Structure 1
Amino acid sequence: MKILVYSVLLLGLSMSSCSSDEKNTTLNQTPIQVTVNQSGNNSEGAYASASGKLVAKNSVNVSTRMMGYITGMKAEVGQNVRAGQLLVSINSTDIQAKGGQANAQISQAQASYNIAKKDYDRFSNLFKNQSASQKELDDMRARYEMAQAGLQAAQAMKSEVNSQYRYTNITAPISGVITEKYAEQGDMASPGMPLLTIESPSALQAQVLVSEQNITLIKQGMPVKITLKSNNEEVAGTVGEISRSSANTGGQYMVKVNVSNSANLLSGMFVNVQFPFKNTGKTNQDFQEGVMIPKSALVEKGQLTGVYTISSNNTAILRWVKTGKSFGDQVEILSGLNAKEPYIVSAQGKLFNGAKVTK
């Protein structure tokens, strides 16, 4: 019985000693030097974000009004073209036949007009000399005017044929790059069928859809941040066009943002656009308070993501957060961190829950 009591006493002393050693370790820990984002600096005010893609501001589909076989296709995808450059030729046999008919009709109408004009001039002189009656002069005038109208009709038909000729030799309406090709040489072209798409890469726009809660806060000319999803590169932009109807866009509103520098960008790239709003300090449910922190401040543990905050006792506390979209080297925090709450950006040592820290 005495041996059992002694064992219990020894075990208690041992646990007390271990607990005392852990407390001493925590108490004797050297504070870790950390860099803290001060309260209020982690929020850039309120914002809304939307996803979309880059499109060419100047983009045209090239088509024809003629039906016929494509006899020449001098265009390839990726080719740079200039305005007025010949791209597509279409078989013009039918138009040539109509042109011949129009020329024959003009010759016939011209001959009738010449004879009628001479007869009218002659009868006008006879009428002045009282050698022809008023009825004879009126008949010659009517014949002359009919011949004149016939000549004008034949000339109009020739002009129509000439205008149709333009659709057999299709030229580039703008300077740019061919991005799509819908037909090949030998294919049958039909009126209105697109043959090519030409885009001007010098001017790109980001087209995004914005919810009805945020559309009223977006103004034309507003500066925005555009982030490429592929590499998180950030470029500047300004709001160019704002749609005021969502009838054809599924209840969301189309906003077009002009890209400031699109030299190294390509049409079709996916982007995130961040619209900043002035924070008036009033609670507004139409937008959310923007909490953006550097990606370097995040802590990954398995499938969980957290960030270290600082307690009132100057110790590190790991806070689990939910992240949203990325904007360059910044990431959106959807929940778990308030906009005015300080957090640790970097530390000169290994952080853990309860670790002493100093700013």
Structure 2
Amino acid sequence: MPRSLRLLTLVLAVALSACGGASDPTGEDAAANALAVALVPVQREVLAHEVVASGQVAAWEETPLGVEVAGLRVIEVRVEVGQAVAAGEVLLRLDDRAARSDVAQARAACAEAEASLALATANLERGRALSGRGLMSAADFDQLGALRAQADARRATAEAALDAAGLRLSWTTLVAPDAGVISRRAVQPGEVVSPAAPLFHLIRQNRLEWRAQIAEGDLSRVAVGQAVRLRGAEGSIVEGRVRAVAPGLDAATRTALLQADLPAPGALRAGMVAEGRIETAQAPVLTVPLAAVVRRDGFAYVFGVDQSQRVVRHRIDTGRVFAGRIEVLAGLEEGQPVVGSGAGFLGEGDRVRVVADAP
């Protein structure tokens, strides 16, 4: 064999010997390098079922207030937007000079009718005395009775006119029909008012309510009297109670209107939109830590570990999230161990090392 060929054969032999001398890592080394995981059991907890909806905060009753006369000028406005008022409190005054003059005229006409009635009554009494002695004919006596009836009718007409004039005078002062808060004002001193336009809006008794549209599937679980929790400003919670649920569904949206009283609305104001949660019932559910769930390809999974310390993937159906845990609707059983955290680093068949408390 030529010398160069023998040298090449020796180099190949040394290389093959070196490759054959290398060994795979032992099982102990692989276990030491495996990802450490901690297992937690699937727990059963009692949770309140909730119907979640978004709705608007509105006035229980917002009453438009206006006057019943036209062509009079506003001489005084006594309230501002946001001001609380009592029932019967004066909100606005109109120029009442013409109305007062009408009342005085009607009062004078009423006094004149009273005097005419008194005279007619006296004449009738005298005629009755004369007729009894045969000194007055029956026709004359009947005439006196007719005059007395006419005077009585004129007095009634004058009293009705006085009442009408007094009513028109009362319309020159606008008062609050109920206690509440002024939500809108559309009038200024000096304006000439019209009976068709509301001058103020009053939130009666300062009562607010929450109005939401409930989906058809949730309607059977909602009833009058159930508690409602709204999230107010800066995360505050406002408590309410369902007052009414519409008996029918809207044909277009397939939803029903729900109204909930808010006895203490706090920072909530009419017109705000708030999310509400309605407690319907309590029932036991299965839960796992939120960190145990990963989502891949549009599905939710958790991971367990088999006897050979390899990862097993379980597909699950999830529900509500609360306090760092998530509801499991299907795919697991109570007490079944799953990887509690770090599931996002795992894959089906990975070798892991189970420890009591893993990072």
Give the TM-score taking structure 1 as reference length: 0.71
State the match for 2:258 in structure 1: 255
State the match for 2:304 in structure 1: 311
Residue 4 to residue 52, structure 1, CA distance change in 2 (3 Å):
farther
Contiguous gaps of at least 5 residues in structure 2 = 1-7, 347-351
1:127 aligns with 2:131: yes
Aligned residues with identical type, % of pairs:
18
Q: What per-residue deviation string (whole Å, max 9, x for no partner) do you get for residues 305-351 of structure 1?
A: 99874436496979899999x9xx77998xx963786899x97x755
Superposed, which structure 2 residues align to 1:1-359 within 5 Å?
23-24=30-31, 27=34, 29-32=35-38, 38-41=42-45, 44-45=48-49, 47-67=50-70, 68-199=72-203, 203-228=207-232, 230-245=233-248, 252-278=255-281, 309-311=302-304, 313=306, 338=329, 352-354=344-346
Q: What per-residue deviation string (whole Å, max 9, x for no partner) do you get for residues 120-148 of structure 1?
A: 22212223333323332222222211211
How many Å separate the matches in 1 of 2:257 and 2:278?
14
Matched position secondary structure for 2:207: strand
Matched position secondary structure for 2:183: strand
Contact 1:43/1:292 (8 A) holds in 2: no
How many Å separate the matches in 2 of 1:92 and 1:332?
70
Q: What per-residue deviation string (whole Å, max 9, x for no partner) do you get for residues 65-99 of structure 1?
A: 11122221111112222222221112224423432
Contact 1:40/1:339 (8 A) holds in 2: no
Contact 1:293/1:332 (8 A) holds in 2: yes
Q: What per-residue deviation string (whole Å, max 9, x for no partner) do you get for residues 272-328 of structure 1?
A: 2333444899xxxxxxxx99999x869999xx999874436496979899999x9xx
Contiguous gaps of at least 5 residues in structure 1 = 282-289
Q: Could you tell me which amino acid in structure 2 is paired with residue 140 of structure 1?
A: L
Q: Which has the larger radius of gyration?
A: 2
Q: Could you tell me which amino acid in structure 2 is paired with residue 99 of structure 1?
A: V
Contact 1:202/1:263 (8 A) holds in 2: no
Q: Could you tell me which amino acid in structure 1 is paired with residue 200 of structure 2?
A: L
Q: Could you tell me which amino acid in structure 1 is paired with residue 344 of structure 2?
A: F
Residue 201 to residue 148, structure 1, CA distance change in 2 (3 Å):
closer
How many Å separate the matches in 2 of 1:12 and 1:174?
100
Number of equivalent positions: 336
Matched position secondary structure for 2:48: coil
Contact 2:85/2:182 (8 A) holds in 1: yes
Matched position secondary structure for 2:199: strand
